[in-house]
Amino acid sequence: MTLNRRKFIGTGVAAATALTAPMVMGASHGKPRVVVIGGGAGGATAARYIAKGSKGEIDVTLVEPTRSYYTCFFSNLYIGGFRELSSIAHSYGTLASQYGINVVHDWAIGIDRDAKMVSLAGGGKLPYDRLVLSPGIDFVDGAVQGWDVTKQNKMPHAYKAGSQSELLKAQIESMPQGGVYAMVAPPNPFRCPPGPYERVSMVAHVLKEKNPTAKIIIADPKPKFSKMALFQEGWANHYDGMIDWIGPDFGGDVVEVNADEMTVSIDGEVTKVDACNVIPAMKAGRICEMAEITEGNWAPVNPHTMQSRADENIHVLGDASSQGDMPKSGFSANSQAKVAAMAIRGALTGSKVFPAKFSNTCWSLIDTEDGVKVGATYEATDEKIAKVDGFISATGESAELRARTFEESVGWYAGITSDMFG
Ligand SMILES: Cc1cc2nc3c(=O)[nH]c(=O)nc-3n(C[C@H](O)[C@H](O)[C@H](O)COP(=O)(O)OP(=O)(O)OC[C@H]3O[C@@H](n4cnc5c(N)ncnc54)[C@H](O)[C@@H]3O)c2cc1C
């Protein structure tokens, strides 16, 4: 066995973790072992579907540092005052008690692909026959001049939900009358393409009520964004004159921030701001780099099974993977997890495997009961996850249809979170 593939995340993660030594499952009973890293939309779903489908024939261990997972989906609605934070928090108790999943609250800090072994920050080691990686995203270093993660308490990203969402909401609510909220939007591809624009809608909703003379600036490196016509129509209808979107034609791609001064410079023009939401360029969660399965920022996969192109014993799900035509969304990650779970059960227990099919819908709320959506179905080709057909809300839809679309999203949230966590 060589050690050249054994990689460890540096002291940053380990030092930030003060957890007790984890329970480590051995191979004593001879069952095949699946280790899942990341208990979010992809990982929790995969763990549950493998455990449920294999009826105890496979040992499933889920590694996730947090005891409460806050969904990014609907975190914008929390910022807008439409949800309580507690309503987007989920725990792993049912996965452990009802599905027999060994839930280990720790960070994975290394993967030895030759030995098929995961190392944990707490010192434990987990052997696997198949490994599922669904660690979500990390930020690209130096993507926004003047910003790095040490600035996230002054200029939050709120692109991992929980305390960051709370912080951003508090900053928006304490802006002075007539103050300025700035968003630095990310380049493609990134987690939740409509997410920044739904967030702006929710911020505008709060400001319209509490601070109607406040302004919102969005510096955007992209000339177009998801559901652009729908958002722009909604902003004109609900928040006229409040939102200034600055695309690359006007310097939205030449941005520098200063967290101490609370300024944003767009194409050299410096603006003093009262709240600043920096959403930097993204890449696969760092453990994927450690495993040496990334190409560029993401981990390429075989769309039929979600197996890493670099290692057939590893499946990569959700935001961390190169997903072809699929957007990086919770719905996508959940859909990919079911494909991977079926492939893993097939490989380890001989159960039947059907052709991979995927689907996604992304709903966004623009203002009270004004919901819009975009979605598609996909199939696996040898090259990529390829779009089959799609749909999108139309501009000018009736208020009744928009209210129904919002209701649909509420039902989807309840459904996907119970599909993830049982
Ligand atoms: C503001 C916002 C709004 C959104 N709205 C929607 C929406 O309406 N609909 C939708 O479908 N999607 C939405 N999304 C996108 C969605 O949240 C993500 O695409 C989805 O969570 C991706 O799932 P994942 O499993 O790849 O990652 P995650 O759900 O982020 O899960 C990753 C997990 O891995 C854990 N982890 C990371 N590294 C390690 C490690 N080394 N060891 C152990 N554990 C680790 C993390 O703690 C985390 O819990 C939104 C996102 C944002 C930011």
Q: Looking at the predicted structure, is the pLDDT value of residue 11 above 80? A: no
CA of 416 to the centre of ligand 1 (A): 13
Tokens of 42: 């992809």
- Pair 222, 236: CB distance under 8 Å: no
Q: Looking at the predicted structure, is the pLDDT value of residue 396 above 60? A: yes
Superfamily of domain 145-280: FAD/NAD(P)-binding domain (3.50.50.60)
pTM of the model: 0.94
CA of 389 to the centre of ligand 1 (A): 25
Q: Per residue in 202-240, pLDDT tens?
A: 999 999 999 999 999 999 999 999 999 999 999 999 999
Domain spans of the chain, in order of start: 21-138+283-351, 145-280
CA of 41 to the centre of ligand 1 (A): 6
With cut-offs at 50, 70 and 90, classify the pLDDT of residue 29.
low
Q: Is the CB of 362 under 6 A from ligand 1?
A: yes
Q: Is the CB of 186 under 6 A from ligand 1?
A: no
How confident is the model over 297-301, as a mean pLDDT?
A: 98
CA dist 244 and 125 (Å) reads 51
Q: What are phi and psi of 229, to 5 degrees?
A: -65, -35
The residue written with tokens 């494909």 in the block is 339
CA of 71 to the centre of ligand 1 (A): 7
Q: Looking at the predicted structure, is the pLDDT value of residue 14 above 80? A: no
- Pair 252, 266: CB distance under 8 Å: yes
How confident is the model over 394-412, as a mean pLDDT?
A: 98
Q: Per residue in 158-169, pLDDT tens?
A: 999 999 999 999
User: For the chain, what is the mean pLDDT?
Assistant: 94
| pLDDT given at position 10 | 39
| pLDDT given at position 326 | 98
- Pair 61, 102: CB distance under 8 Å: yes
Q: Per residue in 69-124, pLDDT tens?
A: 999 999 999 999 999 999 999 999 999 999 999 999 999 999 999 999 999 999 99
Ligand 1 atom closest to Cα of residue 328 = 19
Average the pLDDT over each of 6-10, 127-131, 164-168, 227-231 and give the range with the smallest value.
6-10
Q: Looking at the predicted structure, is the pLDDT value of residue 193 above 80? A: yes
How confident is the model over 24-44, as a mean pLDDT?
A: 83
Q: b vs e for 96-113, b when ≥16 Cβ sit within 10 Å of the residue's Cβ?
A: eeebebbbbbbbbbbbbb
CA dist 310 and 412 (Å) reads 34
| pLDDT given at position 286 | 98
Query: Is cis: bond before 189, omega within 30 of 0?
Result: yes
| pLDDT given at position 16 | 35
Q: Per residue in 38-61, pLDDT tens?
A: 999 999 999 999 999 999 999 999
Residue % of the chain over a pLDDT of 90: 93
| pLDDT given at position 130 | 98
Q: Per residue in 350-364, pLDDT tens?
A: 999 999 999 999 999
User: Do 145-280 and 21-138+283-351 have the same topology in CATH?
Assistant: yes
Tokens of 147: 């910003």
- Choose one of 48, 72, 79 to mutate for the ligand 1 pocket test, by most ligand atoms within 8 angstroms of C-beta: 72
Class of the 21-138+283-351 domain? alpha beta
With cut-offs at 50, 70 and 90, classify the pLDDT of residue 19.
very low
